[in-house]
Amino acid sequence: MAGQVACITDVSQKTWTAAAAAAGGGGAAEAGARKRVALVEVKKLWDAVSKKKKHLDKFRTDRRSERESLYCKIDRILAEYDILRAEYHGGDLTGGHVKILMKKASEIMAQIAACLDEDKSDRCKLSKEEIEAKCGKYSKLLTSWNAVLSEVHKEEPEEEDFVRTAKLVGIALKLHRGMGLSITPKGHDVEDHLVKQMRAVPGGLFDFDESWGEQLHQSGSSNDQRLRNQKSEAKKAVSLLATDRRNNLTETQSACEKVKADHTGSKRAATLEKEVETKRVKKEIVDGLLEEEEESNNT
């Protein structure tokens, strides 16, 4: 169909050329008549192009909205894990959903592979094993980037952390290139500058992510609400500085830790246990990737 559109467009351009040539020779009346005929023909051709394009658009829309299409089935698999493509975000995944996808990449991609194999087109020449292998590569790629981010979020990283992060970045980008995927500017930045910045910034980069930014938004909103009736900007600034200093005192930090420890059996305690379990799982993933890469290099 796209070829037909291109063909019609080409014919219309040739018709315009013929009309221009006709206008340049012969009598003025004859040239004018030929030009009018050519214009009518061109209009017909452009109408045909317009109809074909509308038909293509409708075909794409129907195909995408088809309830049983692979496109929608994969969306439903992602929805099982609360991963939703945000319409306001151009149909892409937001940060929180990407984190879920990376964290559970293995089981999600296994489900997607099964779906692709079960409902593949008759024209698909890939075997079940090939589909699983391809999805497995994406699973490993997502897991690798998850491991990189896990290392970046470490507090007070040491030399062994820098070395491990560099290896994980190498694994992720090696997979990227091996799969024929383009490397974004952020990918190049990670490759060239991430470990250098981890070394250069005291305490590491664990605070420099979207969670840190979101926390500032929340604390800023809270402070704005607290000081909404204070007209003096100078007094607002003094109050904010005092609050920041108080929150960073050793005594305050110790009191916060004590509150955390006292939440035995509460929702907070469950959250803390979940955080510990998450760290354990991430460590296993990182160790597994590094061991696999070492075995690959040895062979």
pLDDT tens digits, 60-107: 666 555 556 788 888 889 989 988 876 555 667 777 888 889 989 999
Please tell me the predicted confidence (pLDDT) of residue 98: 87
Q: How many helices (H) and strands (E) does the chain have?
A: 12, 0
Specify the pLDDT at position 266.
Answer: 63
DSSP state of 289: H
pLDDT of residue 261: 65
The confidence score (pLDDT) of residue 71 equals: 80
Contact between residue 79 and residue 49 where contact means Cβ atoms under 8 Å apart: no
In this prediction, the residues of the chain whose per-residue pLDDT falls under 50 are 1-6, 8-9, 11-12, 16, 22-23, 25
Q: What is the pLDDT, as a whole number, of residue 221?
A: 84
Given CA atoms 230, 236, 239, 240 in this order, what sign does their dihedral have?
A: positive
Q: Find the distance separating the first CA and the last CA of the chain, reported in whole Å.
A: 50
Would the pTM of this model clear 0.85, i.e. be above it? no
